[in-house]
A and B are shown apart, each in its own frame.
Chain A
Amino acid sequence: MNTIRRMMTAGLLALAVVPGGFAQSKTVSSNDPKALAIVKAFEDKLNVTDLDVTNTFTLVQKKAGEADRVIQIQIYRRDKADTFALVFKYPESEKGKGYYRSKDDLFLYLPSTREFVYRNRKDDVGSTDVRTDLFGKSDVTAQYWANLDGTAMVAKWETDVVKLDAKQLDVSFPVQKWYVRKTDGLPVKVENFSASGTLLRTTYYLDYKQVAPSKFIFTKLLATDALEKGQQTLLTNENISTARIPDYTFSKAFLEEQSR
């Protein structure tokens, strides 16, 4: 608690100096070319721009004192058009629910009322620690200033640490730290911070699968909640296919059809 207190006191002091403002964006407003190069390099590898990707995500959410919660989602992704469709397959209570994203617009489809709700593009998936922005094309440099923050060891890997400070407040995490593996340039750990600088969650990219030359998709990911001790979500990515997806899939009508 004392550690959290110190971190947040610092953050709130910053806010007090700039009332209603955004402390980090005032202090950082430029990119470090080396950091930018690292970010662009891993984005090139993770954004499968020329391919459509179909895959099945299984999320297992563990919470202290509660039974594990399992969610299965079918993802249809087309990075070239900056779009994806996401349909809940399991559990039964969530079945038919889905998201459709087209560029900055994200819609949640609720089969119970048959309506689309406009959501923040960083919406949680089924109240887990995983966010919808994880499924689409990564465009970190458009939203953040990138700067190097030294190096660190993550498990057995030596990593470059890139600190990202948001340019606008329309992002879930105003500050992020990406730990990028020096050997292959892929991120292995991401820390997300609040506007006041408190660590909110840490995501570990445990494994990747190569789907094309220099193109990778993560297959295992672990997200841990820093505020709610003991809460973590394990995400497994299976049935990965790069076959072309019909255009109709990336539409609201497709989500409506899936719920029937």
Chain B
Amino acid sequence: MGAFIGLAFKNVFRQKKRSFTLGINYAVVAFILVLLLAFSKGATTNIATSLVRSTAGHITITGQFAKDGKIFNGLLKTGEIVAAVDKTFGGDARTLTRYAVQSMVYYNGLSKRLPFTGIQSDRDTGFRDQSTFSSGSWEDFASDPNGVAIPEDAAEYFGLTNGDEIVLSTRTRFGAFNTGILVVRGIYATDNFFSRGYVLAHYEFLRNLDLAAGDASTSVYVYFPSARGLDERRDLLMEELLLRGFDVSVPKTDSEAVSAVSAASTKYEEDKEGRDRVMLKLATLDEVLGIVRTVLAAVNAVGAFIAAIMLFVIAVSIFINLRMSINERLREIGTMRALGVESSMVTGLFVTESVALAVIFSASGAVLAALVATVIRFGPVFPAGGNLGLFLEGGRLVLIPSLLAIAGVTLTISLFAAFFSYFPAKRGGAIPPVDAFSRVY
């Protein structure tokens, strides 16, 4: 059997030009597929990491509350929600509480509406770890309760420098206007797509600015050591929250999960139910990423479609290639058959040759794709503000090639080659020795 396979591999390059032409096609298809899978995996991983570092937890709790016939966006009884998390998961879970406000900012005759995120700077250090301060520092911001850390583009718009004071004017959740002053304590840049544009202020400042109650917040993020089993963990947490009198629900769709994570509006609507309550929505990271996965699946589908067209062309090439090869090797077939080699063995030899060609070139293409992905991953730095921003980490495109992808693509192409070479090979193997020696088949 070993000698048989060795013979097949030896025969692969008997017609070098023809083999290379077909082999390059295998390699290109494998290259495209492996690179696409590397992009897809990299994008999913990068987006999940970036989200968790900025605007989502493994479980993100947002919601609304009904009071006096009106429904307001945001949470009440935040302390009790955090207590429910602690009771359910003990030390396994960590919580962060934030307060988001959209506010007009006035400075030096200019005005602009900006999204403010109020954080507890002593615990919520994710922004610190992924920001580069061009002016001021995280420590300056953290130590000043009226401090603000502002993104570079917003600072540039207003012409702000460290120590400048900006005026905020916002319509609070109840309808009344309130104003405040923040002092610029840091101007920062980040390559985290989801953190860009966030103006960081202190949780208590924004809550007071919004004239909200002491136990109000806009979101609670729950983090675990790993992102596994989030659905089960959420079920446990929902049970505890229900026991504590909260109305709880889960997002019905992926887009609803994304909305829940990004909600910061303080506008209110009519309450049809007429019962004061706090309604929580618990979205897992998987649900938030669901919409990303859908987009990436579409990208992969386009890549797979292109690959399918190429494979169709390859299928025709395999057929023609093998027919030509059989015609050229009729005497060889006749000799093998005359020596007692079964027709199935002859068929097997041709199929094995075809598969060997596919394995060699598709594996080469796949490995080359992995190398290119690695070079891109650690090579060129792209602008964080560009179109690729969502897929960048440290300015570099995140491509994660995997052995599984390389093996899977190689195996798929090899099986494909085996299938499409089987039928012409079978006809070749079935030629009687006399016919093989006497005529062109």
Q: Which residues of A contact B (CB under 8 A)?
A: 1, 4-5, 8-9, 11-12, 15-16, 19-22, 64, 105, 118-122, 166, 168-174, 192, 194-196, 198, 200, 227-230
CB distance from B112 to the nearest CB of A (A): 11
- Specify the main secondary structure of chain A where it touches its partner: loop
In angstroms, Cα B107 to Cα A228, docked, is 9
Which chain B positions have C-beta within 8 A of A8?
167, 179-181
In angstroms, Cα B216 to Cα A238, docked, is 46
A195 close to B176 (CB less than 8 A): yes
User: Which B residue's beta carbon lies closest to that of A16?
Assistant: B208
B180 close to A22 (CB less than 8 A): no
A11 and B204 in contact, given A4-B167, A22-B211 (Cβ under 8 angstroms): no
How many contacts A-B (CB < 8 Å)?
96
In angstroms, Cα B268 to Cα A118, docked, is 8
A172 close to B177 (CB less than 8 A): yes
In angstroms, Cα B411 to Cα A241, docked, is 84
In the A-B complex, list the 4 residue pairs whose CB atoms are closest, starting with the nearest: A169-B174, A195-B178, A194-B179, A198-B179
B270 close to A173 (CB less than 8 A): no
B95 within 8 A of A: no
CB distance from B64 to the nearest CB of A (A): 14
Total number of B residues with any Cβ neighbor in A under 8 Å: 30
In angstroms, Cα B177 to Cα A195, docked, is 6
User: Which B residue's beta carbon lies closest to that of A174?
Assistant: B176
Contact of A227 among B167, B171, B213 (CB under 8 A): B167
A4 close to B181 (CB less than 8 A): yes
B166-187 vs A, Cβ < 8 Å mask (1 yes, 0 no): 0101011011111111000000
B256-276 vs A, Cβ < 8 Å mask (1 yes, 0 no): 000000000001111000000
CB distance from B405 to the nearest CB of A (A): 45
User: Which B residue's beta carbon lies closest to that of A171?
Assistant: B176
CB distance from A172 to the nearest CB of B (A): 6
B165 within 8 A of A: yes
In angstroms, Cα B106 to Cα A200, docked, is 12
Which chain A positions have C-beta within 8 A of B174?
168-170
Which chain A positions have C-beta within 8 A of B211?
20-22, 169, 195
CB distance from A59 to the nearest CB of B (A): 19
In angstroms, Cα B175 to Cα A172, docked, is 5
A120 close to B267 (CB less than 8 A): yes
Contact of A174 among B106, B177, B267, B268 (CB under 8 A): B177
In angstroms, Cα B207 to Cα A196, docked, is 14
A169 and B175 in contact, given A4-B167, A8-B167, A16-B208 (Cβ under 8 angstroms): yes
User: Which B residue's beta carbon lies closest to that of A231?
Assistant: B111
A172 close to B176 (CB less than 8 A): yes
